[in-house]
Structure 1
Amino acid sequence: MRKGEKTRQHIIEKSAGLFNRKGYAGSSIQDIIQVTGLTKGGVYRTFSGKDEIALEAFDYASRILIEKFLKATEKAETAIDKVMAVCTVYEDPVNHPPIEGGCPLLNAAVEADDGYLPLREKAVAAHGKFIAFIQSILNEGVSTGELSSALNTEAFASFVVSSLEGGVMASRLTRNNEHIGFVIQQIKLVISTYQKI
């Protein structure tokens, strides 16, 4: 990797954590300069500004999150085990969030709702990919006969994603992991009702 590419990646990685902790609106170019240890010129030689950095930082954080999902599910054999393995990525959002500062999807969705439209579009796309990932696991479970064909895989995937994100929000807000624990218990309870014995 050339020096310019290394600098670009360094800015993206450091800014991903910054935006996830302080938010897009709450982070300034000066904050980016501080976390990267670069000069203002060094940042502006690489990126046109904060907007461009924010989009690439979100893409980077989203990729890290997907990698964690894939790693969590790689040893799981059943669809139910795979869904529950994805849940483990979120099991300790207070002390060990999936990415520094929390869940990038949740943070971007909350902040970009009425703010920076390109970041909102990235969050919408990431949300869709998360649902599609869970739905693909459920579809596999239906096709192998593990799960009942009565399961609406799209609806249940949306339920899983929405519940996890809500549990992360409640746990980080209250600094208490019991909320995400309740969510994970309920996901397991509901999915087990579709398990074919």
Structure 2
Amino acid sequence: MHYDPSNGGRLVRPNIKGEKTKEHLVECAAHLFLQNGYNATGINDILSKAGVSKGSFYFYFASKKELAMEVADYYSRIKISEISKTAEGRTWEDFIEKLIGDMIKRAKQKKSFGCPLAVLGMEIAFLEPDIADRYYESIKKVVGIFADVFRRSGISEEKAVLIADHALAIYEGYLLFYRISKNIDELEKLRRDLKAIEGSLSL
């Protein structure tokens, strides 16, 4: 609970149900944007998946773009958290085995659609550049995580940053190939080539 000055300073119970509805809308939109594309997903599609009324949508969001901003923040939180937790205490080879291994498991269950940061960022890059900027900032954080793992693996500071950029290009490239082809072999190649980066270095 919190104090509301406009209510005489009395304690006010937060609208838990309202916040859950908003989060539910963001999660449903995030899934549809990634699976079907931002432009191909209309507000009615989101309402149908979320099971809420149009009035409820406009209570929380003034427009589809405003919702898309929230989706960008949502994907940033979950992907950065996922990659960071996977990276904790691991060297590069172990990190890649866990990260891509989990991705392959999801792909076999038909629950993997590529990297949302790159997929959605590319789609709206010229249409909604302010939203695309949010995805770009998140992708830079992924580079930072990669660089940290390289440092922990004994790579020098200068090389770690350069190689992390290269690793990201490989990572996003193969995920794009996978999204287009739906072929899990592309993820196997991703695992192979990311592991090979470390072995090809002269430390």
**Runs of 4+ in structure 1 over 6 Å off:** none
Partner of 1:158: 165
2: CA distance, partners of 1:153 / 1:174:
31
Q: 1:86 to 1:101 in 2, by over 3 A?
A: closer
Superposed CA RMSD: 2.4
Task: Kindly tell me the number of residue pairs found equivalent between the two proteins.
Answer: 189
CA contact (8 A) 1:92 1:177 kept: no
Q: 1:161 to 1:92 in 2, by over 3 A?
A: farther
Give the TM-score of the pair, scaled to structure 2: 0.81
Partner of 1:134: 146
CA contact (8 A) 1:69 1:86 kept: yes
Percentage of identical aligned residues: 25
Displacement of 1:182 in angstroms is: 1.5
Structure with bigger RCO (C-alpha 8 Å, 6+ apart): 1
Q: 1:187 to 1:51 in 2, by over 3 A?
A: same
- Segments of 5+ residues of structure 2 without an aligned counterpart are 1-14
1:18 aligns with 2:32: yes
Displacement of 1:91 in angstroms is: 3.2
Q: 1:182 to 1:79 in 2, by over 3 A?
A: closer
Q: 1:186 to 1:102 in 2, by over 3 A?
A: closer
- Segments of 5+ residues of structure 1 without an aligned counterpart are none
1:30 aligns with 2:44: yes
Displacement of 1:82 in angstroms is: 2.4
Q: 1:173 to 1:92 in 2, by over 3 A?
A: farther
